[in-house]
Chains A and B, each alone.
Chain A
Amino acid sequence: MKEHVVLHKNDFVTGDSFLRKALIRFSRHRLAVFGLIMLLCIIAGSVFYPMKNQNIAFDLNFLAISQKPNAGHWLGTDELGRDVFMRLLLGGRVSLSVGFVSVIFSTCIGILLGGIAGYFGGKTDMIIMRFTDTVMCFPFLIIAMILVVILGPSLWNSMLAIAMLNWTSTARITRGEILYLRERQFIEADRCLGIRDSKILFSHILPNALSPIIVNATFNIANAIMTEASLSFLGLGVPLPTPSWGNILQDSSSLYKLQTMPWIWIPAGLMIALTVLSINFIGDGLRDALDPKMNL
């Protein structure tokens, strides 16, 4: 069956800005809206809820050891009497900050390298793209592990290590967009007018290449959160006692705790899944909203 394109009256509204049209398209993507609401809840929960009473996530409380979920401790307590729910929310801070900050870094690296390669072409392009291919060739996690060992496990170093590897897709996409855009007439006009290379690149080409870069960055956030969780799980993330979803899972990976205290590790795993899922939904929605070629 041929897919029927459903035309919506908003698609014909002229005079609307690109951003407004994109917003309308995004709000019609149900899963994306669901993902956005979910993500905002997770961010709000992990940023605002632990503002007071944070110490119940760290202080030992031998009167409340290994309790099952109850009214006082919504997700129970661990073997040291620490509140699992509070640790879970604090873990969210680690995952989310690593996800967002590392992607800001990696997107900058990717735009810079991809931009240079695409705009100047020739030998520069070849060297940069071969290097990108080589970095893509490494098993991501293994090199991330080695980088963290070199830098020493900490929040900042997880961000750095992930950013140093996560830029390849951005570089490729930026380069591709620029190769396409620089043959267009308005760029040729720029060149005839004698405008500086850097000005053409940053003021006229990049803004036009931004949509696919943003969509890609969204998926990269999901990827970064997943990698951070894996590093923490292997004991190379944020060091204990600071909780992160990965190290909560790692901490209860012994068979005894796995079997007797599922309320500690199942929520942490579900939170990773839920966060990554929401971000993937948002990414899908953004792709549909920002890429008018796909829609219509």
Chain B
Amino acid sequence: MLRYTIRRILIAIPMLLVITIIIFSLAKLLPGDAVSAIMSGEGDINAESMRQMRENLGLNDTAFVQYIKWLFRLLTGDLGTSHITFTKVSEMIGVRLGPTILLMGTSLVVSILIGVTLGIISAMKQYSILDNILTVFAFLGRSVPVFFVGMFLIYYLALINPVFPTNGMVSIGANGGFKDVLWHMFLPALSLSVLRIAEFLRYSRASMLEVLNSDYVWTARSKGIKERNVIVKHALRNALIPIVTLIGLNIPVLFSGAMIIEQVFQWPGLGSAFNNAITQRDYPLLMGLCFISSIIVLLSNLVTDLAYAFVDPRIRYQ
């Protein structure tokens, strides 16, 4: 296991480097630079002060030098300073990271719990009415855009029947107790979860069906073991293994979904910060956000792979 872990981490390092190169080149390709973005709001722009400003921000160095400088600062945890608000990017991201992780984490846990349970029930009662309904739901869940679900929930549960708040994370004037945040999080988390539940349902149903038809389950049955024990002790444990991979695959999707749903519900997370960074051409913030989100995805892939090797020892020796 240790050898596998080390090997897996060593593979991740060059990937991380390529990610930084891609992010840096993308940011360089963006039209207009930070100086023109800062200056666009001001009346008299003279070429000399723009040149001076570019010099100060290090924008006159060659792209390669800028990249190396950025990379070394990255290693020390310094993501740079925003050209627009002149605050540290790491601080700006730090403030926004919490709400996004909270939203994503809640949806992930909820959708795994509900999705896997429904998938297993669906597999055990294959071709029943319940199974058919759930299969249709799984198809629908793959096809409905997350922002439409969000808009519909606002329309139905916040405007027509005002049960939940339409946006934000805490009530105005309140300092945000646990209940208040939960109440605000209900609709955005629900919109994100509905689609993920469908995904988990589909895969856990397929995985459970495959296991239920395998020879060792039949052996267990023919030895006269009670059906309950066959399911819980023999089938379920093996059926859950592929689900571990599915969690990792779903995190990038969930992240993209969170970015959109944050716009719909004006959730104060990374999504809204990202939109601001794009419209204001705030490169350091943009690069930082891109970097952080890729790190989240890379890390979750790493953890998934390790977890998979942990639950299924065959993986380690490949």
Contacts and interface: CB of A to CB of B under 8 A. Distances in A.
Interface stretch (B62-70, B137-145, B229-237, B308-316): B137-145
Contacts of A139: 252, 255-256, 259, 293-294, 297
Given A137-B294, A146-B290, A234-B260, A222 B143 contact: yes
Contacts of A273: 140, 143-145, 148
Q: Give the dominant DSSP class at B's interface.
A: helix
Contacts of B253: 140
Interface in B124-183: 126, 139-140, 142-148, 151-152, 154-155, 159-160, 166
B278 interface: yes
A150 B213 contact: no
User: Of A143, A146, A226, A272, which is in contact with the most chain B CB atoms at under 10 Å from its CB?
Assistant: A146
Given A273-B140, A273-B143, A281-B139, A150 B30 contact: yes
B14 interface: yes
Interface stretch (B15-23, B48-56, B74-82, B83-91): B15-23
Interface string B263-288: 11000000000110010000000100
B29 interface: yes
Interface residues of A, number: 43
Contacts of B144: 269, 272-273, 276
B301 A137 contact: yes
B259 A149 contact: no
Contact of B15 (A134, A140, A255, A266): A134
Contacts of B18: 130-131, 134
A230 B145 contact: yes
A233 B147 contact: yes
A133 interface: yes
Interface string B18-36: 1100100010011100000
Interface in B91-117: none
Interface stretch (A115-123, A187-195, A257-265): A257-265
Given A139-B293, A140-B252, A230-B260, A146 B15 contact: no
Contacts of B264: 253
Contacts of B259: 139, 141-142
Interface string A1-42: 111000000000000000000000000000000000000000
A214 interface: no
Contact of B159 (A1, A230, A255): A255
A147 B278 CA distance: 11
A158 interface: no
Contacts of B31: 149-150, 152
Contacts of A249: 147-148, 151
Central interface residue in B29, B256, B259, by most chain A CB within 10 Å: B256
Contacts of A255: 154, 159, 166
B159 to A, nearest CB: 4
A206 B246 CA distance: 29
Interface in A262-292: 262, 265-266, 269, 272-274, 276-277, 280-281
B26 A134 contact: no
Given A253-B151, A255-B154, A142 B213 contact: no
Contact of B145 (A3, A226, A253, A280): A226
Most chain B C-beta atoms within 10 Å of own C-beta, residue among A141, A229, A281: A141
B252 A277 contact: no
Contact of A272 (B19, B145, B166, B297): B145
A277 B139 contact: yes
B298 interface: yes
Nearest to B254: A139
A173 interface: no
Contacts of A147: 26
Interface of B: 14-15, 18-19, 22, 26, 29-31, 126, 139-140, 142-148, 151-152, 154-155, 159-160, 166, 209, 213, 218, 252-253, 255-256, 259-260, 263-264, 274-275, 278, 286, 289-290, 293-294, 297-298, 301
28 contacts: A3-B126, A3-B213, A130-B15, A133-B15, A137-B19, A137-B252, A138-B19, A138-B22, A138-B293, A138-B297, A140-B252, A141-B259, A142-B256, A142-B259, A145-B274, A146-B278, A146-B286, A150-B31, A222-B142, A253-B151, A255-B159, A265-B151, A266-B152, A269-B145, A269-B152, A273-B140, A280-B142, A281-B139
Interface of A: 1-3, 130-131, 133-134, 136-143, 145-147, 149-150, 152, 222, 226, 229-230, 233-234, 249, 253, 255, 258-259, 262, 265-266, 269, 272-274, 276-277, 280-281
